[in-house]
Amino acid sequence: MKIKTSNQTPKKTPALKKRPWLTAIKVFFIVFFSVIILAVLAGGAVFVYYAKDAPKLDLSKLESPPSSQYFDSSNTVIATMGAENRSLVQANNIPIQLVNAVTSIEDHRFFSTRGIDPIRIAGSFVHNLKGDSINGGSTLDMQLVKLGMFSTDKSDQNLRVKVQEAWLALQLDQKWTKEQIFTAYVNKVNMANGYYGMGTAAKAYYGKDLTALSIAQIALLAGMPQAPTTYNPYVNQSAAKYRRDLVINAMYNYDKISAAQKAQALATPITDGLLPLKHSVSIPAFADNFLKEAKAQADQLAGVDTANAGVKVYTTLNTSTQETLYNVVNTNQYVDFPDKDLQVASTLINVETGAVVAQIGGRNLPKNVTFGTNGALRVDRDWGSAMKPLVDYGPAFEDGVYDSTSDTVMDEPTTYPDGTPLNNWDNSYLGAMTVKSALQYSRNIPAVETFVKVGKENSSNFLKKVGIDLGPLNWANAISSNTSNPKHGASSESMAAAYAAFANDGVYTRPYYVTKIVFPDGREIDYKPSRSRAMKPSTAYIITNILQGIVKLPLSISVGGNANIPGMTALAGKTGTSNYTDDERTQITNKYGDISGMVSPDENFVGYTPQYSMAVWTGYQNRMTPVYGDTILCATKVFSSVMGSLYPDPSSVSDWTAPSNVTVNGSFASINDKG
């Protein structure tokens, strides 16, 4: 049986009906993923484009040097300096609640990210495309990079900076641990009112360490860095409370505190525990002039700006004496100053060490000016007859021109060697007199006669040995420190140091303000005072013997008697009165009338004990405003008020002892040999 076959083609299955929505989904996903890929590629390109120009990561800029501290001679902090007032905390002094507070409000994934948070970077990118500034959203790593290497200015709130912060944050995460990064952040942030670092703020605002703060107080500090001025609890309490409460709620939301702790913290007044606000920069006005010179010396020793180096600078300042000097000069409690404009400049030096103990550069100086002009170092005013022991009589005894204070000199009409008229201050002459009387009575003519015998070169050499450079001397320097060169002259500092050599057996020490500098890494620089023998012990004693008599003279003979400290034998000093020229005196008379007695631009006193040497200048800023009448007593009164405060029992101070080659016979002293 044949099997019948068919030539008919089998019937095909009908095609499925087309479904457009499937095609749409397919297209959507293709487009979606393409956009994502393109966005990633574009984002990567942008990231690379901006990151390639990022600055090199400088870890030193992320670290925060503490404020530099300046100590007085008793090792008490008297000032803090630096662009930022900052006390550093170590990782082991940061409480866990502060870690929780900061990470909850700023970067809750801090410990699980590697320097950047891609989600936040994407958000920043979207904001930038919309034209918004790039604010917030940074990891703590990025915030630390911004604080150290960029700025918080609006100009640095853009995509370029954000990318560079991210790139550097990635590098930072490879170099530092999370503990190091967090600690650096805590020490770096701005906490308003001139304070930097949360540890600094804790001490300034609450008087406590971070570890002693409550949750509410910690939350306040943790919330401030985002906008320190806005969230300043001393200025805007409502905004500060709003921000603090955000932190507290964030801590609760991330299970860092319990519901009870949250309720208690939210109920705490924003002012809880806040101390009265103190100014962050601590440079006391009473020591401003001294500290200016101390910083200058410290900068030179350290080779850096010590105010911003986080160093400890140990100075020679006696705070109690400095305060006394400031009060004596700036009140009428001790000295009857004629008006507010009379100026005073003074330096007090430790005779044995050469250290500057106290210094002031002027009266009624503006309190809002720090490190202004220090009149204590100006050399353009005249020390008058206070120069005579240094220019004339000191070198005369040193070089053997005189052997005894009883040697005779003549006080008679004469001129300077160049023919210039020469007069005594009272326009009278006393004839033959002893060297001792000539200096004690401050006679000009015997002083010039002595200067001529000594010679300009010998006198100049003697001056330089005691730290004074008047440049090429002129004959008038026998009774004056005036020079034609404004860089040469004498200051209260140099005069006090020079006279200290008389008090210290003839040994001169260059005045200094700093004894030691300690760097954050423990390295130390010790200052070694520069000492040298300026004169023979016999010369120092002879001059001292003469000057001791000046402070015992009655006021009718010498203003120096006003410097006397009752009961103190071991006290010596010399007055100094400068002069007006005849033309200047005529101008003074025309303006002020015919003033009787002494009239001068400068009235000074330099005196010393076996322990201290002190120079005091008084005068007006405008030298054509004269010092006269009772005003001539101000310098000596400043001296006795301050020097007297150093000696509760003046009679207990031992007098100077004559060297073996000096014989004291009654009121006169003589050098027995030239040795």
Catalytically active residues are 106, 385
- CA distances to 103, 108, 181, 465, 508 from 308, in Å: 30, 33, 22, 36, 33
Element (H, E) at 645: helix 634-645
520 φ, ψ to 5°? -55, -30
Nearest CA among 562, 573, 559 for reference residue 502: 573
Judging by beta carbons within 10 Å of its beta carbon (0-12, 13-18, 19+), is residue 524 exposed, middle or buried?
exposed
List b or e across 157-170, with b for residues whose CB sees 16 or more CB atoms inside 10 angstroms.
bebbbbbbbbbbbb
Residues 231/243, Cβ–Cβ less than 8 Å: yes
Q: CA angle, corner 582, sides to 580 and 586, nearest 5? A: 95
Farthest CA pair distance, the chain? 179
Beta bridge partners of 313: 70, 517
669 φ, ψ to 5°? -130, 140
State the Cα–Cα distance between residues 329 and 30, nearest whole angstrom.
Answer: 87
What's the chain's length in residues?
Answer: 675
Q: At what angle do helices 118-129 and 159-175 cross, to 10 degrees?
A: 170
Nearest CA among 320, 317, 326 for reference residue 356: 317
State the Cα–Cα distance between residues 627 and 621, nearest whole angstrom.
Answer: 11
Element (H, E) at 317: none
Q: At what angle do helices 178-188 and 96-106 cross, to 10 degrees?
A: 80
Torsion-angle region of 314 (φ positive above 0: left; ψ -120 to 50: alpha; else: beta):
beta
Beta bridge partners of 282: 80
Beta bridge partners of 664: 669
